Amino acid sequence: DGGITQSPKYLFRKEGQNVTLSCEQNLNHDAMYWYRQDPGQGLRLIYYSQIVNDFQKGDIAEGYSVSREKKESFPLTVTSAQKNPTAFYLCASSVFPDRATNEKLFFGSGTQLSVL
């Protein structure tokens, strides 16, 4: 069935370690996004990509990196520079955001990252 798949569902990071969260979509969407969610908070944008081989920083990009080598895939790496990585990470996709209209985001089921 079509949708967005995030893996793993739970991930643990040791101090000084980089970890990578996977996001794959088969919706043929051009745009993909990574959000961070902390308890009791709204979603905050980390990175987004509107087209393959191109991506932009969101509001809280420090300590994170992404790549967009394929349309279907948008992995997020949480680097050791991110000092407070414990959060729920959500990947989303949408049709190409036309400048004339906003379009709804489709979300994956999330990855809970915790620090050991």
Q: Which is nearer to other proteins, 63 or 110 (CB)?
A: 110
Q: How far is 14 from 32, CA to CA, in rounded Å? A: 27
Q: Which of 115, 90, 111, 89 is nearest to 7 (CA)?
A: 111
Tell me which stretch binds other proteins (CB under 8 A): 11-19, 60-68, 71-79, 92-100: 92-100
Q: What kind and span of H or E run contains 104?
A: none
The two tokens of residue 104 are 């709804």
Report the residue from 22, 50, 67, 77 that binds other proteins according to the rule CB under 8 A: 50
Does the footprint of other proteins cover residue 85 (CB under 8 A)? no
Report the residue from 73, 77, 97, 115 that binds other proteins according to the rule CB under 8 A: 97
Does the footprint of other proteins cover residue 64 (CB under 8 A)? no
Residues in binding contact with other proteins, number by CB under 8 A = 30
Q: Where are the beta strands (DSSP E) in 17-105?
A: 19-25, 31-37, 43-51, 54-57, 64-66, 76-78, 87-94
Tell me how far, at minimum, the Cβ of 11 lies from other proteins, in Å.
14
Q: How far is 69 from 52, CA to CA, in rounded Å? A: 6
* Residues forming the site for other proteins (CB under 8 A): 4, 6, 31, 33, 40-43, 45, 48, 50, 56, 58, 90, 92, 94, 97, 99-110, 112
